[in-house]
Amino acid sequence: MELHGHDTDGQIFFYEHEFYCFSNFSAFMVDWKGKSYSTSEHTYHSEKFDDENLKEQIRNARSAHDALKLTEANKDKYRSNWDDVKVSVMKEILRAKLAQHPYIKKKLLASGVRTLIEDSWRDSYWGWGPNKNGENHLGKLWMELREEFRNIKKTK
C-alpha cells in the first residue's frame, strides 16, 4: 500500500515533494505581529494561546516539531475561542507567508487549477488523513488564496 499521493494533472500533494513550500513545516520564516517565526507551524501554534510566555516559548522552539510538541503538552491552556477562529487564523498566517515569499507565490500560481491536498497521513482535519478522506482544510485555504491572488492580478 502506498502512503503518499503523486502529483497528477488534477491534484498536487504538498506534504513533501515539489510543493513542500505549502507545508507549515517548510523552512519559510513568517513575520507575524511584529515578531519573526521560523515556520508557519510555529506561528499557528503560538496563536492558540493568550499566555505571552508560552507563545514566546513556541516561537523560539528549535523546530516545527518541537513547537507542535510544546503545544500538545499545553492543550489545556488553549484560548477559549480557538475552535471558532483556528481556520481564519491559519488563513491569515498563510496570507502572510505568501506575501513575504515570492517563491511561494510563484509556486501557488504554478499549481494552476489543480486541487491542493495536504498529503498528511496523520491529520484528517488539515490534511486528508490516514484514510485519504479527511477535510483537507489546509489545501482548501491555499486554493482560496490562489483564487484571491488571481483575482487581484486580474484587476490590476
Q: What is the pLDDT of residues 30-39, one digit of tens each?
A: 999 999 999 9
CA distances from 74 to 4, 55, 67, 78 (A): 30, 11, 11, 7
> 70 vs 154, which has greater pLDDT?
70
In this structure, the dihedral spanned by the alpha carbons of residues 105, 106, 107 and 108, taken in order and rounded to 10 degrees, is 50
Nearest Cα to Cα of residue 128 among 22, 13, 48: 13
CATH of domain 11-155: 1.10.357.40
Domain ranges of the chain: 11-155
d(CA 26, CA 70) in angstroms, rounded, equals 18
d(CA 117, CA 138) in angstroms, rounded, equals 8
- 46-64: per-residue pLDDT in tens? 999 999 999 999 999 999 9
Q: Are 74 and 67 in contact (CB under 8 A)?
A: no
Tally the C-alpha atoms within 13 A of residue 150's C-alpha that lie toward its C-beta.
13
pTM of the model: 0.87
DSSP assignment letter at 7 = -
d(CA 36, CA 31) in angstroms, rounded, equals 4
Q: Are 112 and 12 in contact (CB under 8 A)?
A: no
d(CA 97, CA 116) in angstroms, rounded, equals 17
Percent of the chain with pLDDT over 90: 75
pLDDT attached to residue 2: 41
Q: Are 59 and 42 in contact (CB under 8 A)?
A: yes
